[in-house]
């Protein structure tokens, strides 16, 4: 499997993603500058975290009009894989590749710490090596990760098992105390109807090597590459 | 030239944590009459248009394409010939 990391002005997790894909997962990977209209032939596109366009207007609102995003949409429409992490997730929401929108964190604070995630569905290429109910320890780092969608959309995603990760306690219990940003239904990561696009606020690339304290994020890459 | 004054707020159905925090701050400062508060955005846009109707159409298109996110936000606006800006 080959991968590309799209770099927007203000991306700051692009090299982390490149490093994990290339050096940890031993996957061929290329950077794609956001001005590119054509993607290299790859199976996976990663939209990395950061502050594209300084988060001006709304997070991800300007990046979604970058020329590369047209190619990313086509890539997704063809059923190939797209992961948006943090700001990448926000861009996917603004681009309409995933439903909903992000609001300011309930506390209005930027939150940067490890959180616990409960795996809610394993019928995707991103979660197929996990078991339902597995608990992952992966860091978040965002000020606008308070996921919002209307009730109909939420019900649809619940019915279609498209919520892949929820914030939880270390023991897997859901509750406001374990929800770091106020997200609707404790949502930390979702997929689209075709299940080829993943958006998540936690950073798996920061939890893919033992030296960083957790390797739970590797499960996502392993699901993708070794499924 | 026309000038558009565009107001954007979070939809009523969307919780506004920033607005609630500011409201609580007002209450703490003794402004007990403050009952509800929504924080929004304001755009002041100068644009070329043949007439006010065309300007309004343009503004609506800009709002829907980029300036607002219809999932969480709603907007209202006024347009006026420049130099003839409505007083708020």
pLDDT in tens, chain B (88 residues): 999 999 999 999 998 988 999 999 999 999 999 999 999 999 999 999 999 999 999 999 999 999 999 999 999 999 999 876 555 4
Q: Which of residues 25-54 of B touch A (CB under 8 A)?
A: none
Per-residue pLDDT reduced to its tens digit, A3-56? 999 999 999 999 999 999 999 999 999 999 999 999 999 999 999 999 999 999
Q: Is residue B20 part of a domain?
A: no
- Do A104 and B15 count as a contact with CB atoms less than 8 A apart? no
Q: What ipTM goes with this model?
A: 0.84
Average per-residue pLDDT for chain A? 97
Query: Residue B29: inside a domain, yes or no?
Result: no
Per-residue pLDDT band for A58 (boundaries 50, 70, 90) equals: very high
Q: What is the pLDDT of residue B86?
A: 58
**How far apart are the C-alpha atoms of A150 and A182, rounded to whole Å?**
15
| pLDDT over 90 (residue A63) | yes
| pLDDT attached to residue A45 | 98
B86 is a domain residue? no
In what helix (H) or strand (E) does residue B6 lie, and over which residues does it extend?
strand B2-10
Q: How many domains does the structure of chain B reveal?
A: 1
CB proximity under 8 Å: A 154-173 to B: none
Is residue B71 assigned to a domain?
yes
Number of structural domains chain A divides into = 1
| Domain contains B9 | yes
pLDDT for B84: 66
Flag whether pLDDT at A165 surpasses 60: yes
Q: Give the bridge partners for A60, in sequence order.
A: none
CB contact under 8 A, B17 and A107: yes
Residue B62 counted as domain residue: yes
Full residue range of the structural domain in which residue B73 is found: 2-13+40-81
Residue B22 domain-assigned? Answer: no
Catalytic residues of A: 86, 203, 205
Q: Which residues of A touch B42 (CB under 8 A)?
A: none
- Is B61 part of any domain? yes
Query: Chain A within 8 Å of B69 (Cβ-Cβ)?
Result: yes
CB contact under 8 A, A101 and B66: no
Range of the structural domain that residue A66 is part of: 3-226
CATH classification at residue A89: 3.40.50.880
Q: Which residues pair with A116 in a beta bridge?
A: A137, A168
CATH number reported for the structural domain that contains residue B52 in this entry: 3.30.1280.10
Residue of A nearest to B72 (CA): A101
Residue in B closest to A59 by C-alpha: B69
Any bridge partners for residue B5, and if so which? B44, B78
């Amino acid at each position: 499997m080959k991968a590309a990391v799209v770099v927007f002005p203000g991306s700051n997790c692009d090299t982390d993603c490149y490093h994990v894909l290339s050096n940890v997962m031993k996957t061929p990977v290329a950077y794609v500058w956001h001005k590119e209209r054509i993607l290299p032939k790859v199976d996976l596109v990663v939209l990395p975290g950061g502050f594209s366009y300084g988060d001006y207007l709304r997070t991800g609102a300007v990046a979604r009009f970058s020329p590369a995003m047209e190619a990313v949409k086509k890539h997704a429409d063809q059923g190939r894989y797209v992961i948006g992490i943090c700001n990448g997730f926000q861009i996917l929401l603004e681009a309409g590749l995933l439903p909903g929108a992000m609001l300011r964190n309930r506390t209005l604070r930027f939150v940067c710490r490890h959180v616990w995630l409960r795996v809610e569905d394993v019928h995707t290429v991103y979660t197929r090596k996990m078991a339902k109910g597995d608990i992952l320890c992966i860091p978040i780092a965002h000020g606008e990760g308070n996921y919002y969608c209307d009730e109909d959309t939420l019900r649809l995603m619940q019915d279609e098992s498209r919520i892949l990760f929820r914030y939880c306690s270390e023991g897997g219990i859901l509750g406001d105390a374990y929800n770091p940003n106020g997200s609707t239904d404790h949502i930390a990561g979702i997929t689209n109807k075709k299940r080829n696009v993943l958006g998540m606020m936690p950073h798996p690339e920061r939890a893919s090597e033992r030296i960083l304290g957790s390797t739970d994020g590797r499960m996502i890459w392993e699901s993708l590459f070794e499924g | 030239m026309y000038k558009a004054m565009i107001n954007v707020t979070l939809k009523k159905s969307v919780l506004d944590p920033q607005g609630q925090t500011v409201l609580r701050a007002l209450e703490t400062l003794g402004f007990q009459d403050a009952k509800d508060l929504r924080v929004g955005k304001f755009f002041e846009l100068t644009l070329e248009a043949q007439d006010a109707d065309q300007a309004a159409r343009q503004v609506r298109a800009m709002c829907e394409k980029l300036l607002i996110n219809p999932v969480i936000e709603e907007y209202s606006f006024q347009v006026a010939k420049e130099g003839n800006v409505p007083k708020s």
